[in-house]
Structure 1
Amino acid sequence: MDILRVIRKTRQFFVDWPIREGTVLHGRYQVSDVIGTGSYGIVYLCTDLQVSKKTVVKQLRPSKRHRNKEVSMFQHEISIMRKLDHPKMPVFIEDFSDDGQHLFFAMTFIEAENMEEQIFAEQRSFSEEESLQILYRLLQIVDDLHGKGIYHQDLRIPNILISRDDFYLIDFGLAVCEDEILQTANRSGKHKKIEQLRLQDYHDMGEILLFLLYTTYTPKNKKALPWTEELTLSNGTVHLLKRLLGIKESYEDIGEITADVRHAISSTRRKG
């Protein structure tokens, strides 16, 4: 397995060269820069020459274009992107293949910074109340997704963009749509699978909240302790985290979470 992995990595190194700056794709998108790379995709910042606007184009890695699994994942992401309709998410424009082999899709560019970069590169930190406010805003976006029967399944700090006080959600490569489950599961299996997807998104939001809360934490002991001992939080925030992370009874829906977030914000203000 190690030899095969080395062979794959070597092939990727020689095959997955990013497209040159200035190249025009599909007679429309002029490449400016590479802004992201993933396990199966390369993301470019482009200029849409038709409307003179910044645009994002994602390409399936050339080394993956002959592998059915990766091609299927790429096409699946396109199908999810087509269903999105929210001001805090990218908007799908079109998919294309200039030569019938290399696969791309274009989406709107969001003028915002990546939250992970802000935290690590710019040393930004978030107070308990600020962290709860971010979760509150994120809940509204995820609620819209779930209302469309879509579960993100990759809610992480790198997939959140910040522009002043606005927050955006990106990267739907691992998202799952209820329509897929209907085709592959019986009635009881469908409900169980949907519940697992819903709880995974809730758990991920708990992890995001915990991550944000740790941005203001300064270690006092050499030995790492549980967050319940390291962080000084209001009772409302502790209760919220324990339910999101499955330590206590899990939440039934986002409305229930939202109510507890509001309560946690109020208790945080009282604590302050």
Structure 2
Amino acid sequence: MNHRYEVLDVIGKGSYGILYRCKDLKTNNYKVIKQLRRSKHRTKKEIKLFENEISILQKLNHENMPKFYETFTHDELLFYVMNYIEGDNLEDLIFYKKVTFNEEQSLILLVDLLVLIDDIHSKNIYHGDLRIPNIIVNNNQLLLIDFGLSKQNDSSGEMKEQDYYDLGEILLYLLYTTYPTKKKKALPWTEELSLKKETVHLLKRLLQIEVSYSTTKDILKDLQAAILANKM
């Protein structure tokens, strides 16, 4: 591909694009190449979304996020190249490898994720798709991927609120990993999970049940209080 990259396998397929794991024949390093599907080349809107994703990746500057290298066209198709990130995503860890997280571990993991969110928000970038498949764990390090739905300079604040809400959803996923699944009656998480009141307060604000957060600083303050409560 592009006389430089040898395609090794397909690692992701969506309605929007295709991800290939490739070998860079110049450096012998592994890279990931994303292709905009041929069907998406028919409208300027779809091409603009792809270009927006590239623009966002070019602004990222964090070792725990994708590193952008270049764009190219091949057979009239659009591609861009980024580094290959090793590790398991949280979805695979939870559902296939059956890894569990207790309350304190869940909160600590969220701190690591919040650091990454704070970094992109400081650049006026909002992820828009914070889900467990888009969080990679490698050697106890947390990495954030897939900026395909991300936006820049969201003046309405909706994207920031969405990211914060998604943090609440991720925290719930983690907390439920230690919940016994044989319960007969499905109840709200406030009744099913036995949590410290500080964690409940944090979740209710993230999930906008109570007054929602406006800054990552406020979230971190409540996160630290919840972690401290779990150590006592």
TM-score band, normalised by shorter chain? over 0.9
Residue 15 of structure 2 aligns to a residue whose secondary structure is coil
| Counterpart in the other structure of 1:13 | none
2:134 paired with 1:159? yes
Letter in 2 for 1:264: A
Aligned with residue 215 of structure 1, among 154, 177, 182: 177
Shift of 1:176: 0.6
> Greater relative contact order: 1 or 2 (C-alpha under 8 angstroms, separation 6 or more)?
2
Moved more, 108-117 or 240-249: 108-117
Q: Gapped runs of 5+ residues in structure 2?
A: none
Alignment of 1:138-157 (within 5 A): 138-157=113-132
2:204 paired with 1:242? yes
Tell which structure's C-alpha radius of gyration is larger: 1
Residue 209 of structure 1 aligns to a residue whose secondary structure is helix
- In 1, Cα distance between equivalents of 2:132 and 2:183: 26
Residue 249 of structure 1 aligns to a residue whose secondary structure is coil
Aligned with residue 107 of structure 1, among 82, 87, 91: 82
Moved more, 219-228 or 34-43: 219-228
Q: Gapped runs of 5+ residues in structure 1?
A: 1-24, 182-189
Q: What is the TM-score of this pair, normalised by structure 1? A: 0.83
Moved over 6 A (4+): none
| Counterpart in the other structure of 1:170 | 145
Residue 103 of structure 1 aligns to a residue whose secondary structure is strand
- In 2, Cα distance between equivalents of 1:228 and 1:90: 36
- In 2, Cα distance between equivalents of 1:130 and 1:221: 23
- In 2, Cα distance between equivalents of 1:202 and 1:75: 25
Give the CA RMSD over aligned residues.
1.1
| Counterpart in the other structure of 1:226 | 188
Identity of aligned residues (%): 51
Q: What is the TM-score of this pair, normalised by structure 2? A: 0.97
| Counterpart in the other structure of 1:62 | 38
Shift of 1:220: 5.0
